[in-house]
Structure 1
Amino acid sequence: MSSSGRILDQEPSFSHLPGILSAMPSKACSVALASAGAYAAAQAFLAPSAPQVSREQQVRHLRQQPAEAATSSSCASAGALALGVAAVAAATAQSKRAVRRQVVRQATATAEKTEKAFAKMPASVKPGVVTGKALVDLLNYAKENEFAIPGVNCVSSSSINACMEAAKKAKGTVMVTLSRGGGQFIAGKAADNTDDAACIAGTVAAALHVRQVAKLYGVPVILHTDHCQKAWLPWFDGLMEANEEYFKLHGEPLFSSHMLDLSEEPLEENIAICKKYLERMAKIDILLEMELGVTGGEEDGVDNTDVDSSRLYTQPEEVWQVYEELSSVPNGNFTVAAAFGNVHGVYAPGNVDLKPVILHNTQKYVKEKLGCESDKPMSFVFHGGSGSSLEDIRYAIEAGVVKMNIDTDTQWAFWDGMNQYQKKNKDYLQAQIGNPEGPEKPNKKYYDPRMSLRAGEEVMADRLVQCMEDLKCIDRL
């Protein structure tokens, strides 16, 4: 608390005033005037209906006092001042208690409202950014109820807001995902990116934006970062430092989860690096998403268009190796983006050879190894879903997919919203002044960037609601 805050909380003491006034008789009259004013204020506060003496009357009365009585008057006035201030302090304390009661009532009402609004959700899940146990509970809730949470790659506050708007419309939950390149764009392409400084700063800035506004949408939001290959680990380290600092201040990490995509490395190295980072992440309640196999196509600078097709399909034995190592980390929580033919990019339905049965077989394999009762001990992530049939998507969700990346469709929707706005208002967007309504008519309200950006947000949000319907992530609160 600031020093000013401490001063306001201290009880005032005036026991020293009589001595001061005795030593300074020449100032007794002025102090007495102040005393009278304070006493009158106290009387008005404690008994506002009683007759009050005007300040002018008090002043006239005090000026008529004999000079030799100044000292005794000052003492009496000081006593009145002390009495008045004490009464005001008591009333103030009572007022503070009333304020505290009001705050408690409001907090209780908010909690009851949230509980009612989130009747279907686990009790730990609240509006705003979800981390730690609440995140694990949320993902398990999705797996048990067979729906997947859309993970949307965002590159601006507008796309972030469109995600949360969609979740609010759908009464579901959403994952705001930030990439290394997206972070740099948010910081500004002209910003110094030495040692990934801009990539780190922009990603953190976007996360703080989500932290500030997510609760206003009344939905649970997962704050995540996407593909991080081995060469980009300095970016990952910078984010971890931000998480650790945030944890010290708030008792939870800045982000909900992070992805490490080391699928291009040998399996043993992939697992070893992931385990090392999970040990660090587990200390501050961050969930790890790791990738096995390779997602084909190209996204955010990662080009796997010519990868051997055999690497597009993860084997159950590989998933078991991951489970054995990562589950040994105390408090470690993780999901696996296991490849089953996934490809980044835009493809017409039928051109992507997905085999979600791989996920079903893997769940059976891990269950047998563990000897557990659960039919879905693993939590899977679905990357590269563009062009997938609804049947394949739903079948993958039944196999324990709790999150699916949604990028190209929402990016196109944002652009399409802006493009349609431009077409609709073309005649008002050719100059600052002059339009079909007259040569001197201003066009500012049309070219204001907020107008076209908002059009993009609206169309993106509507498209994302459609995606959430495909993922059965509707009315889940």
Structure 2
Amino acid sequence: MPKRCGIGSMPPGTPLSSPAIFYVARRDVYRRFPERITLFDTFMVTFATYPTHIRFHFLWAIPLFWAIPYAFAGRMAWCRKRRGGGGRGDNGTMTIATPERYAQMLDAARQGGYAYPAINVTSTQTLNAALQGFAEAESDGIIQVSVGGAAYLSGQRVNDRVTGSLAFAAFAHEVAAKYPNITIALHTDHCAKQYLDEWVRPLLDHETEQVKRGQEPTFQSHMWDGSTVLLNENLDIAEELLDKSQAAHTVLEIEIGAVGGEEDGHSAAINDKLYSTPAQGIAVAQRLGLGERGRYMAAFTFGNVHGAYKPGVVKLRPELLDEIQATLALAVQAGEMPDPARTLDVAPGKPFALVFHGGSGSTPEEIARAVSYGVVKMNIDTDTQYAFSRAVAGHMFSHYDAVLKIDGEVGNKKMYDPRSWGREAESAMAARVVEACKQLGSAGKALK
């Protein structure tokens, strides 16, 4: 329990005189806010120059001034917890990343040659499962919502993406604070052009206002999915969103090329358009820079496909990522690009912070190669969905007679209570998150 402050903290019998109040107030301010003691003394010296009858009438100003430092501190803590600031765990360490902490996470992954699982969630249960998995793996990570997931989180009757996103983030900030030894970044995933005005742009505007008020942004990054438009338009919109992201203190994620399969209504055929080129990498760097205009991540496609596929069906070419990185690094060394000294210092030969989408059906070797070429974030959705749902199905099959009211029976309430199968589902999904952390190399590497 922290020591009490205020008149109630004075020793018993202390008279409620101006000197007594001044003494206790000054003592507490000095202990807790030493940088403000000069301001406090200035106030009190000025106050002492007034006649006694004026000092008496304004005696209330002393405890009021006394409360100001606590009000500021409490306000900032409230803002962090309630309005999307970096949450802090029980031991004072950070849980939801600040912009600076997120930058540290991404740089650490690039330098260390590992990637963070980015787990899609659609409910508080799946969010809890993701947090549990990261904690068990002792890994920092990314938790994200898709366009459909955000709407689902707001409820069927509301069905609003911004509302669902903010509700998700509020819950995450509150609960993640109980996981003090890991850092979590919140992200919005796959925002196509038709959803920008009703989803990501409003969120960026909201976060810009938060930053202006001295708060941290609710989310740490947002994805612009330009895979359905031509490259030039894709980069036009990316430039606009990068500027907005800078103002909001967030990171932008872009997609160059098309990911096959289907993800929340976005679909693309499995063909040669699924493979990005080094020339596209050069175009991205020319338009967006390499960090000097703002931090971003790039999802170049190398045969990625959303959905559930058997190994071998998806024809991944991770070497394309190496070619894109190498081509750009040579262009930088030749002086053909803006000077990205900071970027190259973080990861020599790997100018881009890369993202891996559509990894279901990929072999462990393909994933490892992609990470070695500079992938720092890998989206995981299909596999965790299956892990969660398979546990629910297993519970229902194992307790068939208990979860149904058959032939006039009443079943077993303990077995159809959502908490019984919900805990099993959360644990199963958490185990899949742990597996992902180990596979991507982030397990045991939570920032201290």
Cα gap change, 1:287/1:94 in structure 2, threshold over 3 Å: closer, same or farther?
A: closer
Distance, in Å, in 2 between the alignment partners of 1:248 and 1:92 is 35
**2:415 aligned partner:** 446
1:187 aligns with 2:154: yes
Deviation at 1:127?
2.8
1:231 aligns with 2:204: no
Deviation at 1:431?
4.0
Distance, in Å, in 2 between the alignment partners of 1:313 and 1:169 is 36
Aligned CA RMSD, in angstroms, stands at: 3.0
Equivalent position SS for 1:226: strand
Equivalent residues in 2 for 1:16-27, closer than 5 Å: none
Deviation at 1:285?
1.2
Q: Which residue identity lines up with residue 438 of structure 2 in the other structure?
A: E
Deviation at 1:240?
1.5
Distance, in Å, in 1 between the alignment partners of 2:273 and 2:420 is 45
Q: Larger deviation: 443-452 or 217-226?
A: 443-452
**2:351 aligned partner:** 377
- The correspondence for 1:462, drawn from 425, 431, 439, is 431
Equivalent position SS for 1:45: coil
Q: Which protein shows a greater Rg?
A: 1
RCO (CA 8 Å, sep 6+): is it higher in 1 or 2? Answer: 2
1:272 aligns with 2:236: yes
1:177 aligns with 2:144: yes
Equivalent residues in 2 for 1:151-300, closer than 5 Å: 151-191=118-158, 193=159, 198-218=160-180, 219-234=182-197, 235-300=199-264
Deviation at 1:202?
0.6
1:84 aligns with 2:15: yes
Deviation at 1:204?
1.2
Distance, in Å, in 2 between the alignment partners of 1:332 and 1:292 is 18
Deviation at 1:451?
2.0
**Would you say the 8 A contact 1:131–1:255 is kept in 2?**
no
Q: Which residue identity lines up with residue 84 of structure 1 in the other structure?
A: P
Equivalent position SS for 2:366: helix
Distance, in Å, in 1 between the alignment partners of 2:318 and 2:351 is 16
Deviation at 1:100?
4.2
1:147 aligns with 2:117: no
- The correspondence for 1:420, drawn from 391, 394, 409, is 394
Q: Which residue identity lines up with residue 392 of structure 1 in the other structure?
A: E
Cα gap change, 1:303/1:367 in structure 2, threshold over 3 Å: closer, same or farther?
A: same
**Would you say the 8 A contact 1:204–1:242 is kept in 2?**
no
**1:343 aligned partner:** 305
- The correspondence for 1:472, drawn from 415, 423, 441, is 441
Equivalent position SS for 2:135: helix
Deviation at 1:134?
2.2
Equivalent position SS for 2:15: helix
Aligned length: 370
Cα gap change, 1:250/1:317 in structure 2, threshold over 3 Å: closer, same or farther?
A: same
**Would you say the 8 A contact 1:131–1:252 is kept in 2?**
yes
Distance, in Å, in 1 between the alignment partners of 2:400 and 2:213 is 50
Distance, in Å, in 1 between the alignment partners of 2:146 and 2:213 is 25
Q: Which residue identity lines up with residue 211 of structure 1 in the other structure?
A: H
**Would you say the 8 A contact 1:258–1:287 is kept in 2?**
yes
Distance, in Å, in 1 between the alignment partners of 2:293 and 2:279 is 24
TM-score, normalised to structure 2, is: 0.76
TM-score, normalised to structure 1, is: 0.72
Equivalent residues in 2 for 1:321-336, closer than 5 Å: 321-327=283-289, 331-336=293-298
**Would you say the 8 A contact 2:297–2:353 is kept in 1?**
yes
Equivalent position SS for 2:350: coil
- The correspondence for 1:364, drawn from 315, 326, 331, is 326
Distance, in Å, in 2 between the alignment partners of 1:432 and 1:93 is 70
Cα gap change, 1:95/1:45 in structure 2, threshold over 3 Å: closer, same or farther?
A: farther
1:353 aligns with 2:322: no
Deviation at 1:242?
2.4
Q: Which residue identity lines up with residue 315 of structure 1 in the other structure?
A: T
**Would you say the 8 A contact 2:186–2:220 is kept in 1?**
yes
Equivalent position SS for 1:368: helix
Unaligned segments of structure 2, at least 5 residues: 34-91, 334-340
Q: Larger deviation: 419-428 or 209-218?
A: 419-428
